[in-house]
Amino acid sequence: MVSPVRKQFILLLACLVLLIVAVLCVVLWPTWQSSSAPLSSDQFTVEFAERLRHAANITKVEITGERQLDVTSTSGGVTAYLDHAYADYLQKPENKLAIMDHYIAPILETADKTAKETPIDVKHIVPVIKNRVWLDTARQLVKNAGARTPGQEPAFDELNDELIIVYAEDQEKKLRFLASDELTKAKVDRLTLREIAVDNLTKLLPSITPVRDGGFYIVAADGMYESSLLLKDSLWRKGTFDVKGDIVVAIPARDKLFVTGSEDAAGLVKMKAGIDLAQSRTSYPLSSEMFVLREGRFTRFVPR
């Protein structure tokens, strides 16, 4: 039989526990609520601006309107609109940082493009693989910076429905993305531009090392142009990669190139995990898709 004193103690203890739970609910409710609800437009803009301020060569970031930023770098400046970035975030709030980085990359590169131009060294023109979000963002940023003709937009060629090839001048520590007008001024033939750029890339890169890693290959070059190796035809000749079926590649970031086979179910699963991991860690995401090489072209691959 429980004594009256013990009953009173148990009752007091229960009341104390309930009081602690009530206090915790009051204190932590705003945190729980904010962690489950997506950021408002203004909150997203503030967080985006703060992340951008920590990027290399950025000297000033000002919020000048709804989802609008004025960005100043050590070599120029642009106005950035975050409408598309915020729309993508609302689709997948859990990928907030990856989405921000996805849109920060073209802002950084276009801000640098507004620096005082110097003559192009044709021997240093290289091809760079980008996605269409990058192109749309770069076009808008160039327009915001005062561009009045399409010739002032980045020069590019189509690769497939997801990816494009843009052209840049390799300046050792940075890339200077080139506009069509600049190439015309430098008397670069657009019909042979891709060939020239790929040839320059071949001369620039050190030896290319494919390493098999748990079901798929990881191709290493210099840490910047791995994705551009999709354009190096000699790399994709039979015998370079021992895979089952057709060659399937992934370029989750500019410095990542993965390879497996279309009939290698285990390899495809492991490569997908590699894609997800790479995209969670990079500031220069490219694509979460896989691409299959058929008839000399890389097109979107959908595993069975």
Angstrom distance (rounded) from CA 222 to CA 206? 7
Helix (H) or strand (E) holding 81: strand 76-81
Question: Which residues partner with 216 through β-bridges?
Answer: 213
Q: In degrees, to the nearest 5, what angle opens at C-alpha 284 toward C-alphas 279 and 285?
A: 40
Query: Under DSSP, is residue 265 helix (H, G, I), strand (E, B) or coil?
Result: helix
The 8-class DSSP code of residue 92 comes to -
The 8-class DSSP code of residue 253 comes to B
pTM value?
Answer: 0.70
- The terminus-to-terminus CA distance of the chain in angstroms comes to 68
Q: Compute φ and ψ for 132, nearest 5 degrees.
A: -75, -25
Residue 34, pLDDT above cutoff 50: no
287 vs 27, residue with greater confidence: 287
Residue 220: left (phi > 0), alpha (psi -120 to 50), or beta?
beta
49 vs 74, residue with greater confidence: 49
Radius of gyration over every alpha carbon of the chain, rounded to an integer in angstroms: 25
For 163-189, what is the mean pLDDT? 88
- Give the pLDDT score at 222: 80
- Give the pLDDT score at 232: 93
Counting every residue written for the chain, the total comes to 304
8 A C-beta contact, residue 93 and residue 38: yes
Q: Compute φ and ψ for 278, nearest 5 degrees.
A: -60, -40
Residue 29, pLDDT above cutoff 60: no
Which residues lie below 8 Å from residue 40, measured CB to CB, with a gap of 6+?
A: none
- Give the pLDDT score at 209: 81
Residue 282: left (phi > 0), alpha (psi -120 to 50), or beta?
beta
Residue matched to tokens 């327009």: 143
For 37-60, what is the mean pLDDT? 90
pLDDT per position as a tens digit, 126-166: 999 999 988 988 888 777 766 667 778 889 999 999 999 99
Burial of 141 (0-12, 13-18, 19+ CB in 10 A): buried
- Give the pLDDT score at 33: 44
- How many CB atoms are located within 10 Å of the residue 32 CB? 10
DSSP-assigned letters across all residues of 201-238: HHHHS---EEEEETTEEEEESSSSSTGGGGG-GGGGST
Question: Which residues partner with 261 through β-bridges?
Answer: 247
